[in-house]
Chains A and B, each alone.
Chain A
Amino acid sequence: MSTEIIKAGSTLDISFTLNGTEVSAAVTAETPLSTLLRDRQGLTGVKIACASGVCGSCTALINSKPVTTCTAFAYQADGRDITTIEGLSQNGAPSPVQQAFMKHSAFQCGYCTPGMILLATALLAEIPEPTREEAIAWMSANICRCTGYTLIIDAVMEASGQ
Chain B
Amino acid sequence: MLNLGQAFVSASQFGLTPFDLARPTSIEDIHDLLSLPGTHCYLAGGTDMFIQFREGLRPDFVIDLNGISELADISLKGNALTIGAGMRHSEGACHGLVDQHIPGFTSAWSLFGNTRVQGMGTLGGNIMARRERYEGPILASALEAELAFLGPDGEFTASMEDVWSNRHSEGALLTHVSVPVAGRPRLVYDRTLRPIFTLAAVLQDAPTGGIGGRAVMGFEWDRPVTFDLDLGGIPDRRGVSASAPEIAAAAFERFPEALMDAEYKKDAGAAVLTRLLTQLGELS
Q: Do A and B bind each other?
A: yes
B12:A35 contact, CB within 8 angstroms: yes
- CB within 8 Å for A141 and B114 given contacts A44-B9, A51-B54, A71-B50: yes
Whose C-beta in chain A lies nearest to the C-beta of B114? A141
Which chain B positions have C-beta within 8 A of A138? 115
A119 to B119, CA, bound (A): 12
A119:B115 contact, CB within 8 angstroms: yes
A6 to B9, CA, bound (A): 31
A70:B47 contact, CB within 8 angstroms: no
A93 at the interface (CB under 8 A from B): no
A141 to B2, CA, bound (A): 28
A5 at the interface (CB under 8 A from B): yes
A52:B51 contact, CB within 8 angstroms: yes
Q: How many A-B residue pairs have CB under 8 A?
A: 119
A123 to B116, CA, bound (A): 11
Whose C-beta in chain A lies nearest to the C-beta of B115? A141
B229 at the interface (CB under 8 A from A): no
A67:B119 contact, CB within 8 angstroms: yes
Interface size on A, residues (CB 8 A): 46
Which chain B positions have C-beta within 8 A of A122? 115
B14:A3 contact, CB within 8 angstroms: no
A110 at the interface (CB under 8 A from B): no
Which of A3, A12, A67, A137 is B24 in contact with, Cβ under 8 Å?
Answer: A3
A56 at the interface (CB under 8 A from B): yes
Which chain A positions have C-beta within 8 A of B26? 2
Task: Tell me, rounded to whole Å, the shortest Cβ–Cβ distance linking A1 to chain B.
Answer: 5
- CB within 8 Å for A32 and B54 given contacts A4-B22, A42-B1: no
- CB within 8 Å for A32 and B16 given contacts A67-B120, A71-B49, A73-B46: yes
B32:A3 contact, CB within 8 angstroms: yes
Task: Tell me, rounded to whole Å, the shortest Cβ–Cβ distance linking A57 to chain B.
Answer: 12
Q: For chain B residues 9-29, which have a beta carbon within 8 Å of chain A?
A: 9, 11-12, 14-26, 29
A52 to B57, CA, bound (A): 14
A12 to B21, CA, bound (A): 10
B-side residues, CB < 8 A to A, are 1-4, 9, 11-12, 14-26, 29, 32-33, 43, 46-47, 49-51, 54, 61-62, 66, 114-117, 119-120
Extra inter-chain contacts (9) besides given A65-B120, A68-B47, CB under 8 Å: A1-B32, A5-B22, A7-B20, A8-B20, A34-B12, A39-B4, A48-B12, A52-B51, A119-B115
